[in-house]
Structure 1
Amino acid sequence: MDKKVSIEEFYKETQNYVPESVRSGIGHFNVFKLDEFTGPKPKPMPFNRRDYFKISLVQGKSRVHYADKIVPVDKQVLVFSNPQIPYNWEQIDEQLTGYFCVFTETFFHQFGDLTQYPLFQPNGNPVFQLEDSKVEAVVSIFQRMLTEIDSEYVYKYDMLRNLVFELIHTGLKMQPASELQNSNSNASERISGLFMELLERQFPIESPMQRVRLKTASEFAHQLSVHVNHLNRALKETLQKNTSVLIAERLVQEAKILLRHTNWNVSEIANSLRFEETAHFSNFFKKYAGHSPVSFRKLEIV
């Protein structure tokens, strides 16, 4: 599993600079030709990344891996990547061509919520095979982006947002690409890796106001676009534990850290770990740690 890469790291790895709009966090957009990122000695490809959105037009033979799915690409594909689900792009042809744009959620602040669109939702299908007759129209949108971003027009970023929405609606009107069923052990390893990354991404808890977002097996399965039974089988195969046990063990681990290293009261810790009742948290903690939260806090560290 690749490590989490921010948009700032993407620029450091591929462009050797970081734009001021990325540093400031005010909202960022950029568009690139794909050709310079692929080939016999490609730069690190900007796929399978986090913390920003990406829309890619890729022409050439390749495969898109996401969650436990594999989508083969023979000609051209339009892919909508979101910060939640990691992607892996397997290059088959020696040279891929196309375009991609990257942007942060804050770039659309006050202009719409991107996550309302199925293309950017965890259980959505973000990969679309493009018919030959539709390629020219999509290429035209990216070329207009390239022209606009280099212009001096004072409202060019409004134009660029409109062009992003054109791509989104182009995808919404199309049928998603079908995926291959990957029956080998790599599928279980990949889904287990994605699960563990989503689980760990929620920690550490650094404020009583912070709460874990994903807590149940069904919530993780929904985020990964798989059935909860499928997720459970993959975790048992690779980690020898079911989903609920892995979640519980990580919650207990974080609870121990908070009890040892903060002065938060037990109800604050319970709330951060998404227990609606402090008594429920106390019973849960005692089941897995062998002590109540209060008695655990009083134990001397050996």
Structure 2
Amino acid sequence: MSLFLELKSFYKHINRAPESGESGVGHFNIFKVEDLMISRDRPATYSRRNFFKVSLVNGHSRIHYADQSIEVTGSALVFTNPLIPYHWERMDEQQSGYVCIFTEAFFSRFASVKDYPVFQSADAAVVNLRADDVLFFNELYEKMLAELNGDYAFKYDFLRTMLMELVHSAQKMVPAAGQQQAGSNAAERITALFAELLERQFPIELSNQVIRLNSPSAFAKQLNIHVNHLNKALKETTGQTTSQLISERIAQEARILLKSTNWTVNEIAWGLGFEEPNHFSSFFRNAAGMTPRQFRQVDVD
């Protein structure tokens, strides 16, 4: 089972209690980087997350984002979403700034935050800042932190507005240029990232959980490469196409859910990204040689 970093686990990792940030429609919180007690020798690697992060980092560090590595020697804004692999490597101990975390539900009545470019790829996710930019964003974070700790009845609506100001201000700026990480060849790197993104979506543990990536184009978009490039890399390293690998993993999860849950076929179909149950039934019949209902009624190895 893949490791899933929920908010509770995140707070435990940073030695903090989730005493604030609950808005009733999602989660929002802000921390000062210097207050987060995270050891350089204890990097955290998680298969999945269920929250977004926007960080203002000051100091020498390296941002590993998907298959790119971006070195920050001054100040930068870093945007990460729950799907793209990310790791912050501190190059020295002198670090400062802010970390803002929030769930997609926090914007459920405001905007589709996952669709903004800064949360889509490494090319837009790390924004180097000039001195005057640092002052602007630092003041914005301080304003959000003060509002979070205040007692204004509509403070979370106000916080959403300020967070969107941060996002749009950053998107108007020129992003940092990243370099692909050294090591294995490009096809192997792409294959590893694809496999991680695929596995991040599983296992499906709740009947209202829906996978977001179920097509070659969706994976290519997340990895910021052309779908033909992705397919060529996977074919070279695995001998299978992108569609074949996706279909095999979805079919595997379908078999697990049909045998281990009492969810309806429609619920399973929806969770696996099929908008029409009959499309799922056809897909499963091609993969398993029988319908989902037939599969549930017989013992299959």
Aligned partners of 2:8 and 2:62: how far apart in 1? 26
Aligned partners of 2:84 and 2:59: how far apart in 1? 23
Residue 81 (1) aligns with residue 80 (2): yes
Residue 249 (1) aligns with residue 248 (2): yes
For residues 34-90 of structure 1, the C-alpha deviation after alignment (integer angstroms, 9 at most, x for no partner) is 113378x45967897721221111111212122222222121111122223231112
Aligned partners of 1:280 and 1:18: how far apart in 2? 39
Q: Which residue of 2 aligns with 1:91?
A: 90
Q: Which residue of 2 aligns with 1:150?
A: 149
Q: Which residue of 2 aligns with 1:4?
A: 4
Residue 225 (1) aligns with residue 224 (2): yes
Aligned length: 296
* 8 Å Cα contact 1:38-1:45 kept in structure 2: no
The residue type paired with residue 11 of structure 2 is: Y
* 8 Å Cα contact 2:6-2:49 kept in structure 1: yes
* 8 Å Cα contact 1:36-1:43 kept in structure 2: no
* 8 Å Cα contact 2:34-2:95 kept in structure 1: yes
For residues 238-282 of structure 1, the C-alpha deviation after alignment (integer angstroms, 9 at most, x for no partner) is 655442222122132234335545678878866765385848954
Instruction: Flag the structure with larger Rg.
Output: 1
Q: Report the 3-state secondary structure (helix = DSSP H, G, I; strand = E; otherwise coil) of the residue aligned with 2:30.
A: strand
Q: How does 1:151-300 map to 2 (within 5 A)?
A: 151-185=150-184, 191-200=190-199, 201-204=201-204, 207=207, 212-236=211-235, 239=238, 241-260=240-259, 273=272, 274=274, 278=278, 282=282, 285=284, 288-289=287-288, 291-293=289-291, 299-300=298-299
In 2 relative to 1, CA 17–237 (structure 1 residues): closer, same or farther, beyond 3 Å? farther
Aligned partners of 1:270 and 1:160: how far apart in 2? 36
Q: Which residue of 2 aligns with 1:26?
A: 25
Aligned partners of 1:64 and 1:105: how far apart in 2? 23
Aligned partners of 2:266 and 2:159: how far apart in 1? 46
Aligned partners of 1:108 and 1:276: how far apart in 2? 27
The residue type paired with residue 159 of structure 2 is: L
Aligned partners of 1:152 and 1:211: how far apart in 2? 35
Q: Report the 3-state secondary structure (helix = DSSP H, G, I; strand = E; otherwise coil) of the residue aligned with 1:176.
A: coil
Unpaired runs of 5+ residues, structure 1, are none
In 2 relative to 1, CA 45–185 (structure 1 residues): closer, same or farther, beyond 3 Å? closer
For residues 88-108 of structure 1, the C-alpha deviation after alignment (integer angstroms, 9 at most, x for no partner) is 112112222111211222333
* 8 Å Cα contact 2:123-2:175 kept in structure 1: no
In 2 relative to 1, CA 190–100 (structure 1 residues): closer, same or farther, beyond 3 Å? farther
Aligned partners of 1:38 and 1:21: how far apart in 2? 19
Aligned partners of 1:137 and 1:267: how far apart in 2? 49
Cα offset, 1:219, TM superposition: 1.9
For residues 112-143 of structure 1, the C-alpha deviation after alignment (integer angstroms, 9 at most, x for no partner) is 33234322346872211112232111111112
* 8 Å Cα contact 2:26-2:105 kept in structure 1: yes
In 2 relative to 1, CA 47–127 (structure 1 residues): closer, same or farther, beyond 3 Å? farther
Cα offset, 1:177, TM superposition: 0.9
Aligned partners of 1:221 and 1:265: how far apart in 2? 31
Aligned partners of 1:179 and 1:124: how far apart in 2? 7
Q: Give the root-mean-square deviation of aligned CA atoms.
A: 3.7
In 2 relative to 1, CA 272–228 (structure 1 residues): closer, same or farther, beyond 3 Å? same
The residue type paired with residue 11 of structure 1 is: Y
The residue type paired with residue 165 of structure 2 is: E
Q: TM-score, normalised by structure 1?
A: 0.78
In 2 relative to 1, CA 160–210 (structure 1 residues): closer, same or farther, beyond 3 Å? closer
* 8 Å Cα contact 1:63-1:73 kept in structure 2: yes
Q: Which residue of 2 aligns with 1:128?
A: 127
Residue 65 (1) aligns with residue 64 (2): yes
* 8 Å Cα contact 1:122-1:224 kept in structure 2: yes
